Amino acid sequence: MTRISTSTFRVRYAETDQMGVAYHPHYLVWCEIGRTDFIRDLGISYAELERRGHLLAVAEASVRYAASARYDDVIRVDTRLVAVKSRTLTFAYEIHRDEPDPAALATATTTLISLDRDGAPRRLPDTVLDLFRAAEHPDTGADMIRG
């Protein structure tokens, strides 16, 4: 089963400030790209989860920045699922620049909570939990960038 999902893309001009540096909130958008790809790699999509009545809302997010990304850099986001509970999923991300000069840019974590359409916490069904648990990577990120 997939334990790490890798997403690759270029920094778009709209994501940068006038100096060509990627604006810091976009790193969370890049985490969403990684998380969406991770879930899709498991054989289900966010859209399908929502059709089934399970909305995943970000309950907590943390980013630790190490270096700047710039316009047109090739970015790689490595995503791992590090904790699965009946109502929450915690993902860890390592964000790197692959081109033009490879560098570790940031690490991040997000915790998502499963909600029903009324916004109440809802247990994920066992079939979905089993899928996520099979992909869980228990490493809590000890190998991630240290400040």
Name which of 2-6, 22-26, 76-80, 125-129 the model is least confident about.
2-6
pLDDT higher than 60, residue 70: yes
pLDDT per residue as tens digits for the range 71-124: 999 999 999 999 999 999 999 999 999 988 999 999 999 999 999 999 999 999
**Which is the catalytic residue, given 17, 72, 139, 143?**
17
What pLDDT is recorded for position 137? 84
Q: Which residues pair with 99 in a beta bridge?
A: 74
50-60 pLDDT, tens digit per residue, is: 999 899 999 99
What the block records as the tokens of 72 is: 């047109």
> Per residue in 76-94, is it b (16+ CB within 10 Å) or e — as a string?
bbbbbbbbbeeebbbbbbb
Q: Does the active-site annotation cover 17?
A: yes
How far is it, in rounded angstroms, from Cα 23 to Cα 21?
6
Instruction: Tell me the domains of the chain and their CATH numbers.
Output: 4-135 (3.10.129.10)
